[in-house]
A and B are shown apart, each in its own frame.
Chain A
């Protein structure tokens, strides 16, 4: 875990710096167990652990959509829009 101040609550500030870039990474706190794998192995340090022991998207503007976080997430709690399945197909139509 990082020594930096908790960034989980200040997500909006970072979004404002870039011209309204939509975050590509989505984390579902309901499923996240806070193992820290996505945070540790993100090549661009987009994610950080929050005070609630869950991963948070802190620097969405850095994201290169490599989707390694989504692939390595054991909890299926990370989703990268633009889709992480290699062929680039859009999957999953709607709720089930």
Chain B
């Protein structure tokens, strides 16, 4: 073992599981580090946190962190997370999902979790394809992009995760990327410390599948793309239209403080049967 230990060592299952399975240059590791730094700055106890995930590259994340973890079926991270939160409302539930996991297979779960305003933080790592199974297109693959199942370009329009969850009623919706990692830390910190349903979309490169299919180069080139092709909300308002066109806007889109599902559930319990009151 190295003489000096990494800062995140406390939070990682470092002796058993590292190095991790993600490809060289995959952005999911950066997102995981960012989540860990956010939790560290909030000073939470490891045992109070539940990280729940479905299936996919991103959903390998609970394997590597030393919280309470739950690795569930494809797309059902939010369903299992809802159950865990209802059973033990003191848990701080983080659902980590990929773009396919959250938008395609678990698409129904995310809109209804957002509608209920369930007290869960949903972290969606968007790498624009299904990386684990060989780079098939996902609902967030941009139109025109090549993947292994759209070799002549994607003809379907893509989902905007932030707009979808905003419309469905989430309390907090934000988008960041792994190049602007300090900003991403802040987004996670704000999301985790809030209440209700909170969504953070983290854009991450997939150099092995998406990058190779679209001739975007290696991990460094894809990080440069994230740097050049994203703008903040303030920039998108200020810059002329030709400079903002085709670029992805990052930042906090929604930050409400509406009553979450748990509070409403508790109010119902209090109203219907006073003896159940805790």
Give chain A's interface residues, CB within 8 Å of chain B. 26, 28, 30-31, 33-37, 40-41, 68, 70-79, 81, 83-87, 91-92, 94-96
Contacts and interface: CB of A to CB of B under 8 A. Distances in A.
B262 interface: no
Contacts of B19: 30-31, 33, 75, 77
Contacts of A74: 22, 24-30, 33
A91 B10 contact: yes
B152 interface: no
Interface stretch (B83-91, B218-226, B237-245, B265-273): B218-226
Pairs A-B, 7 closest by C-beta atoms: A74-B29, A35-B25, A33-B24, A35-B24, A40-B220, A79-B6, A35-B219
Contacts of A68: 181
A73 B29 contact: yes
Interface in B1-46: 1-10, 12, 14-15, 18-20, 22-30, 33-34, 37, 40-41
B132 interface: no
A14 B223 CA distance: 29
A36 B41 CA distance: 28
B249 to A, nearest CB: 22
Contacts of B4: 26, 79, 81
Given A71-B185, A74-B24, 14 more contacts: A35-B218, A41-B179, A70-B7, A71-B34, A73-B33, A74-B25, A74-B28, A76-B18, A76-B29, A85-B40, A86-B185, A92-B5, A92-B10, A96-B9
B127 to A, nearest CB: 12
A77 B5 CA distance: 9
B110 interface: no
A91 B2 contact: no
B6 A76 contact: yes
A87 to B, nearest CB: 7
Interface of B: 1-10, 12, 14-15, 18-20, 22-30, 33-34, 37, 40-41, 178-179, 181-182, 185, 207, 218-220, 223
7 contacts: A33-B19, A33-B23, A76-B29, A81-B4, A83-B7, A85-B41, A92-B6
User: In the complex, which of the residues B3, B12, B20, B29 has the most CB atoms of chain A within 10 Å of its own CB atom?
Assistant: B29
Contacts of B10: 91-92, 96
B2 A26 contact: yes
B47 to A, nearest CB: 15
A49 to B, nearest CB: 11
Contact of A91 (B30, B40, B179, B223): B40
Nearest to B25: A35
Contact of B30 (A36, A72, A77): A72
